[in-house]
Amino acid sequence: MSESPEIAVAEDGREIAYAVWGDRSGFPIMLLHGTPGCRLNRWPDVDLYERLGICIVTHDRPGYGRSTRRRGRSVADEVDDVRLLADVLGLDTFGVQGGSGGGPHALACAALLPERVNRAICVVGVAPLGSPGLEREAWIDGQDPANVKEFTWAEAGEDVLTPELEREQAGMMERVAEDPTTVLGDFELSASDRSQLARPEVIRIIREVTPEQSVNGVGGWVDDDLAIIGPWGFDVASITVPVLVRYGRTDVLVPPAHGDWLAANVPGCSVKIDDVAGHLGLDPVQEITENARWLRDGIPPD
């Protein structure tokens, strides 16, 4: 286990910061953080990973945390870094899980790295924008106005998006210093998500992740937003490995229409929908346990 980053170096000289949690001899899972986020996004009681016999590998996507920025990257480019980390760690095969903005990146690994990925999970993941995904109005429908605002900045391009996200990050830092449960500011969250933000384990992770995700600026966040609304570089219809799509009906960050679209378009996927949960789930320990069983053994949640 490690909180200080280990570093892998890509062929183009970029540095990828990563961390390993849990049982290093257990079943390996690449856990891809959301938007924004960093390698410190994990369940803080890593003894749970030990008990489940799993090895969690997290990393800073380019531009986040301690990883070198890769300006202009697509969602599909995540595959390069996941493959690199698997090679460095000697992992022939592994599971992949991504949440929120990490969801499309997990799907990219499922689509483009089928010889290494045995199963994947997309948790509250974003759907593609435009054909063959959701058209603009459907894509933003049900999102909190703060999310729609960020989307419109991304549509305007990097020169508009960057200073806005710098202001957002500064505000987030101020709120977290005073009260981590207010990390999302004025978002009109569901009761479920407000309850999750009050969990001491979640508060701890918010305190750790918020400063680290932007330690070298907001470039990773900028590039995530631009990649998510642009061409992904792969078609979800090409996925051949088993995928679990799970999402909640009260999510106002990634509304359920996104999950509905993925559930209908990821070939042969298993689907877990929670009518009460929002963006942050309901029972993290149960959900981590269910996800581990799916990725390792192919057992879908009830």
The domain ranges of the chain are 6-297
What does the mean pLDDT of the chain come to?
Answer: 97
Paired with 260 in beta bridges are none
Q: Assign 3-class secondary structure to 57-71.
A: EEECCCCCCCCCCCC
For 233: left if phi > 0, alpha if psi spans -120 to 50, otherwise beta; the answer is left
> The CATH number of 6-297 is which of 3.40.109.10, 3.30.465.10, 3.30.56.10, 3.40.50.1820?
3.40.50.1820
What pLDDT does residue 3 have?
55
Is pLDDT of 4 > 90? no
pTM of the predicted model as reported, rounded to 2 decimal places: 0.97
Q: What is the mean pLDDT of residues 86-98?
A: 98
> pLDDT tens across 185-234, in order?
999 999 999 999 999 999 999 999 999 999 999 999 999 999 999 999 99
Handedness of CA 27, 33, 39, 41 (dihedral sign): negative
Alpha helices in 115-230 (DSSP H): 136-140, 145-156, 158-178, 191-197, 200-213, 219-229
Q: Which long-range contacts (CB under 8 A, 24 or more apart) does 192-201 make?
A: 192/248, 192/250, 192/276, 192/277, 192/278, 192/280, 192/282, 193/250, 193/251, 193/278, 193/279, 193/280, 196/278, 196/280, 196/281, 196/282, 196/284, 197/280, 199/284, 201/43, 201/44, 201/45, 201/284
